[in-house]
C-alpha cells in the first residue's frame, strides 16, 4: 500500500521514484534478494534491499539500482531499473510503473486538492500520467512519440523552460525510463523531440558505494537532483522554421551570391550532402579570391568551416565566433542543420539584457522603500527572519521574498499609505519573484514580451506611489 495520510500523488508531478518508494508501497521488502542475470557472460549477481532503500552488493551499499548494477558488472553503463529482478520475475522498472499506476488510480478517486506549489491541478496529473505511459509503450514498440518542446511543456502546465518545471519534466520522464531526443533543453520551443528509451547514466563517484559498517545512507530527495547540463546551447539559438540554405562545391559565384543577397546572409555553408562539409563561402572570401585572381574558381573562395553538435555549450562557441564569425551546427542525427553567427549571439544576449536590468531596478526600488519606510529591527526582522534561515543585518540583505513578506503584512502595508489593493499588488509581486528566479537561475527561453511589460508596469506603479515625494 502507498503511505496513508497524504497520498503519493506527488510521484506523478516531478519527483523521481526511488527503491524506498517501492518499499513503502510493499512492492519490495527489506532483506529481499534481487538478481541480475547475464546469460552470455555466465553470471548472476545478487543485491539485497535495505531499509534505507539502498541496494547491498558484495558488502557495499549503493544509492540507486543503476549504481548497484554497474558495480556488480564492473564496467559499462547499465539501467539498473531493468536489470534487477525479483524472485517473481518482475523488474524494478515494472514495479515502478505499477506504483505509478496505483497512485494514478488513487488520485482519480480522491477529491482534487489545492496545492499552492503545484504547477497544475491533480486532474492534469492524471492526463500527464496517461500521456507518459503511452509514450513508454510507443518507445518500447520502436515508434517513439514525437512532439514539439512547446507541446511537451503543456503537459506540465508550462510555457517556458524555467528551472523548476524543467526538473519536473526530467523527473517524470525518468520515472518511465524515458528521455527526449534531441534534449528538450538544448533546442528551441518549436523543435520536435522524440520520447525515447533513456540511455543508462554514466558511472559516477557514488558507484563506489559505502561499507556495511556505516550508518544507513541518506537518499537525497529526487526533486533536488540537478540537471546534468545547464546553459545555453547552439540549438537554443536556431529557429525551428529556419531552413538551412547551402550550396554544393560545384556551385557558381552567381548562385552563391544570389542566395546570400536574397536572404541577407554574410556566409553560406558549402556541403557535399547534409552530412559532409567542404567549408563555407563568405563575402570576404569571394573578395579575396577575385582580388587575387579575377578568373578565380568558385573552389578558390571556399574557406574552412567548423561544425559542432546542437547541444554544445554556447559559452565555448564565443571564441570561435570571434575568429570565424560563424559555426555550423549538427542535429541529433549528425546532419548539418544550421549556422550560428556572431549576429545571432549578439541578438540573443541583447534580448536577455533588458529583463535582467529591469529586475535589478525593481530590486533597488523596493529596497529603497524598505529603508525609507520601515524600522529594520522592529518591523522587518521579526517578519523576515525564520528559524534555520540566515540572519539579516540590514535592508541590504533582503531578497524579493523578504520584500513580499513585509508588504503582505497588513500593518506594514498600511504604513505605506498607498491607495492600492494589497492582495492584488502582492500577488503580482509574487509573479515577478518567480520571474526573477527564472531570469537569475537560467531559463533557456528567456522571458516573454508580456513579462517585460509586467516589470515595466510594476516599476511605474512603485515610482508613482513610492518615490520620496510620495512617501
- Looking at the structure, tell me whether residues 14 and 156 fall in a common domain: yes
Q: Is residue 340 part of a domain?
A: no
Query: What pLDDT was estimated at residue 449?
Result: 74
Q: What is the count of structural domains for the chain?
A: 3
Query: Are 310 and 455 part of one and the same domain?
Result: no
Say which range, 166-175, 200-209, 293-302, 377-386, has the weakest mean pLDDT.
200-209
Could you tell me the CATH number of the domain that includes residue 258?
Answer: 3.10.580.10
Domain encompassing residue 291:
237-334
What mean pLDDT is reported for the chain?
84
Domain's final residue, options 287, 309, 334:
334
Burial string for 339-354 (b: 16+ CB within 10 Å, else e) reads bbbbebbeebeeeeee
Has residue 231 been placed in a domain? no
Q: Is 257 a member of any domain? A: yes
DSSP code at position 6:
S
Higher-pLDDT residue of 104 and 291 is: 291
Q: Establish if 117 belongs to a structural domain.
A: yes
Same domain, residue pair 47 and 117: yes
Strand partners, 392: none
**What is this structure's pTM?**
0.69
Residue 118 in domain: yes
Q: Looking at residues 216-223, what average pLDDT do you find?
A: 38
371 in a domain, yes or no? yes
Pair (180, 294) in one structural domain: no
Question: Is 206 within the bounds of a domain?
Answer: no
Domain end residue (candidates: 315, 334, 353): 334
> Does 318 lie in the same domain as 178?
no
Q: Which three cell numbers stand for residue 356?
A: 535582467
Of the candidates 272, 257, 271, 261, the one whose C-alpha atom is nearest the C-alpha of residue 339 is 271
Instruction: Give the residue-averaged pLDDT of 377-394.
Output: 85
Residues 96, 39 share a domain:
yes
Claim to verify: residue 15 and residue 136 sit in the same structural domain = yes
Distances (CA, A) of 195 to 125, 137, 192: 18, 10, 10
Give pLDDT, residue 222.
38
More confident residue, 352 or 255: 255
> How far is residue 122 CA from its own chain's centroid?
22
pLDDT tens digit sequence for 337-364: 999 998 888 877 777 778 888 888 999 9
| Per-residue pLDDT tens digits for 364-379 | 999 999 999 999 999 9
181 and 65 in a common domain: yes
Question: For residue 13, what pLDDT is reported?
Answer: 67
Answer yes or no: do 321 and 365 share one domain. Answer: no
pLDDT for residue 217 is more than 70: no
pLDDT value, residue 144: 96
Domain presence at residue 230: no
Question: At which of 302, 334, 366 does a domain end?
Answer: 334
Chain centre to alpha carbon of residue 116:
22
In a shared domain, residues 422 and 322? no
Looking at the fold, whether 135 and 253 belong to one and the same domain comes out as no
pLDDT of 250: 96
Q: Do 315 and 356 belong together in one domain?
A: no
Residue keyed to cell 510503473: 97
Amino acid at each position: 500500500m502507498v503511505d496513508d495520510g497524504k497520498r503519493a500523488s506527488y510521484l506523478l508531478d516531478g519527483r523521481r521514484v526511488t527503491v524506498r518508494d517501492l518499499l513503502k508501497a510493499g512492492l519490495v521488502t527489506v532483506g529481499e534478494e534481487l538478481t541480475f542475470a547475464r546469460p552470455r557472460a555466465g553470471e548472476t549477481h545478487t543485491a539485497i534491499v535495505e531499509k534505507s532503500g539502498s541496494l547491498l552488493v558484495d558488502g557495499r551499499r549503493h544509492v540507486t539500482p543503476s549504481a548497484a548494477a554497474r558495480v556488480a558488472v564492473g564496467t559499462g553503463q547499465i539501467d539498473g531499473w531493468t536489470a534487477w529482478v525479483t524472485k517473481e520475475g518482475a523488474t524494478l522498472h515494472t514495479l515502478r510503473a505499477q506504483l505509478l499506476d496505483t497512485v494514478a488510480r488513487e488520485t482519480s478517486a480522491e477529491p482534487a486538492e489545492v496545492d499552492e506549489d503545484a504547477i497544475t491541478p491533480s486532474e492534469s496529473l492524471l492526463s500527464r500520467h496517461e500521456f507518459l505511459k503511452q509514450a513508454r509503450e510507443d518507445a518500447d514498440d520502436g515508434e517513439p512519440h514525437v512532439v514539439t518542446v512547446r507541446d511537451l511543456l503543456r503537459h506540465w502546465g508550462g510555457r517556458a523552460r524555467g528551472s523548476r518545471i524543467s526538473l519536473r519534466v526530467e523527473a517524470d520522464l525518468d520515472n518511465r525510463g524515458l528521455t527526449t531526443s534531441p534534449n528538450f533543453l538544448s533546442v528551441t520551443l518549436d523543435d520536435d523531440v522524440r520520447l525515447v528509451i533513456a540511455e543508462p547514466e554514466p558511472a559516477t563517484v557514488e558507484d563506489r558505494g559505502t561499507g556495511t559498517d556505516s550508518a544507513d545512507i541518506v537518499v537525497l530527495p529526487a526533486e533536488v537532483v540537478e540537471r546534468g547540463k545547464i546553459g545555453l546551447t547552439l540549438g537554443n539559438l536556431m529557429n525551428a522554421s529556419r531552413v538551412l540554405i547551402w550550396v554544393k562545391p560545384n556551385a557558381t559565384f552567381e548562385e552563391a551570391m544570389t542566395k546570400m543577397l536574397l536572404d541577407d546572409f554574410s556566409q553560406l555553408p558549402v556541403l557535399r550532402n547534409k552530412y559532409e562539409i567542404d567549408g563555407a563561402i563568405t563575402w570576404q572570401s569571394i573578395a579575396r579570391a577575385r582580388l587575387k585572381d579575377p578568373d578565380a574558381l568558385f573552389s578558390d573562395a571556399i574557406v574552412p568551416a567548423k561544425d559542432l553538435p546542437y547541444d554544445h555549450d554556447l559559452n565555448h562557441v564565443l571564441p570561435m565566433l570571434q575568429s570565424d564569425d560563424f559555426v555550423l551546427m549538427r542535429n541529433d542525427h549528425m546532419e548539418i542543420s544550421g549556422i550560428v553567427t556572431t549576429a545571432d549571439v549578439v541578438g540573443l544576449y541583447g534580448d536577455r539584457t533588458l529583463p535582467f536590468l529591469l529586475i535589478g531596478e525593481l530590486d533597488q526600488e523596493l529596497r529603497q522603500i524598505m529603508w525609507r519606510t520601515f524600522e529594520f529591527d522592529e518591523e522587518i526582522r521579526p517578519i523576515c527572519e525564520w528559524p534555520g534561515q540566515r540572519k539579516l543585518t540590514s535592508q541590504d540583505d533582503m531578497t524579493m521574498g523578504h520584500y513580499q513578506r513585509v508588504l503582505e503584512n497588513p500593518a506594514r502595508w498600511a504604513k505605506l499609505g498607498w491607495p492600492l489593493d494589497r492582495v492584488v499588488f502582492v500577488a503580482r509581486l509574487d509573479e515577478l519573484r518567480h520571474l526573477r528566479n527564472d531570469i537569475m537561475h537560467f531559463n533557456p527561453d528567456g522571458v516573454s514580451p508580456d513579462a517585460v511589460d509586467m516589470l515595466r508596469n510594476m516599476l511605474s506603479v512603485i515610482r508613482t506611489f513610492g518615490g520620496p515625494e510620495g512617501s
